[in-house]
Amino acid sequence: MADQPHSAELFGEQRDFWWNRDFLDLMAVRWRLSEAASLADIGCGLGHWSRLLYPYLRPPARFAGVDREPRWVAEAPEKFRRAFPHVAPELISFHQGDAIKLPLADDSFDVVTCQTVLMHLAQPLDALREMLRILRPGGLLICVEPNNFWNYLAFTSLTESEPVEIWVRRFEFWLRQHRGRLAAGRGNHSLGDLLPGYFAQLGMRDIAVYQNDRPAPLFPPYANPDQKALVEQDRQWKSSATGPWNKEDMRELFMRGGGDESFFETVFADIVKKYHSEQQAIAAGHFHAAFGNINYLVSARKP
Ligand SMILES: C[S@@+](CC[C@H](N)C(=O)[O-])C[C@H]1O[C@@H](n2cnc3c(N)ncnc32)[C@H](O)[C@@H]1O
């Protein structure tokens, strides 16, 4: 993955199934998006999130996407054009830039947003201050960020009755990597838990916290489009000896989080085995789990 731009592995078809449309309809009302006529998406990637939000704005609405990766800045405009062929091209712009030094003017947007971006940054508060800078007074900041630690704790048809010791070991395995990632300045994949407090610290008003209502369940025959996309995504790694994981990277994070080598080897072998067992159980049609995830939507107005 080293030669790939940031998040390339995350932009598969599965990302199109993150949200329930009726939930977004509700959020658009709660956020009063129809009163807004400009939107900036920071760390926009290919615009999966902003293409969902943009239609709720009051037309003709202005849009700006910012990403630090030249490839996404080059590819996202075509996705926007295809999604909104009747929108005047001069209303839509994409910019290469860093979240902590945005190439956009002060007080220039009604809504500023990001989805799963702050979690990757060493200095999320600096990025939030920049997002506030470009937001007009009274404008709305919307950040969607997860607690990804929860993803490791779901019970599945294969793991629900495993011994307590195995669960506890896996918990330590992921927690040490989480701590190692923080220590290495590579972000906080569970940053969502802390966001409301950061908003309060920055003096924002009308802070509101919601959760995405869409889990990612798998149950036979895995026939819904969202389940097919999930199964397909997982299948990519089926023949890899280490499943979807980069062992050396994980080892480095784990050790940095205070772990020891032999513990790492034991648990890494266990999670790879678990992954391959899941693949076999899916192929045999008897794997299932509701796979809830914690994805917060935290919003507030600039005073
Ligand atoms: C997980 S992706 C999310 C993309 C998009 N928000 C979405 O939800 O589909 C994270 C994005 O943040 C971008 N990114 C990472 N660090 C950044 C930074 N310091 N400044 C701007 N963009 C950044 C990456 O290039 C990537 O496109």
- Which pLDDT tens digit goes with each residue over 152-205? 999 999 999 999 999 999 999 999 999 999 999 999 999 999 999 999 999 999
Beta bridge partners of 144: 115, 297
As given in the structure block, the two tokens for residue 124 are 């999320």
SS3 28: helix
Strands 109-115, 38-42: parallel, antiparallel or unpaired by DSSP? parallel
Residues 6+ apart with CB under 8 A from 58: 34, 35, 36, 37
Determine whether the shortest distance from the Cβ of 68 to ligand 1 is under 6 A. yes
Nearest residue to 267 (alpha-carbon basis) of 251, 244, 249? 251
Residue spans of the domains in the chain: they are 8-147+187-215+294-301, 151-177+218-284
Work out which ligand 1 atom sits closest to the CA atom of 18. 8
Beta bridge partners of 280: none
- Cα(3) to ligand 1 centroid in Å equals 16
pLDDT band at residue 3 under the 50/70/90 scheme: low
Model confidence over 117-148: pLDDT tens digits? 999 999 999 999 999 999 999 999 999 999 99
| CA-closest residue to ligand 1 atom 23 | 43
Q: Read off the pTM.
A: 0.95
Res. 1: pLDDT tops 70: no
How are strands ordered across the β-sheet holding 294-301? 92-96, 62-67, 38-42, 109-115, 135-147, 294-301, 205-211
Distance CA 200, CA 190 (A): 18
Work out which ligand 1 atom sits closest to the CA atom of 10. 1
Residue showing tokens 């990597």? 177
Choose one of 68, 96, 129, 148 to mutate for the ligand 1 pocket test, by most ligand atoms within 8 angstroms of C-beta: 68
Distance CA 223, CA 219 (A): 9
How many Å separate Cα 15 from the centre of its chain?
9
Determine whether the shortest distance from the Cβ of 45 to ligand 1 is under 6 A. yes
The CATH number assigned to the domain with range 8-147+187-215+294-301 reads 3.40.50.150
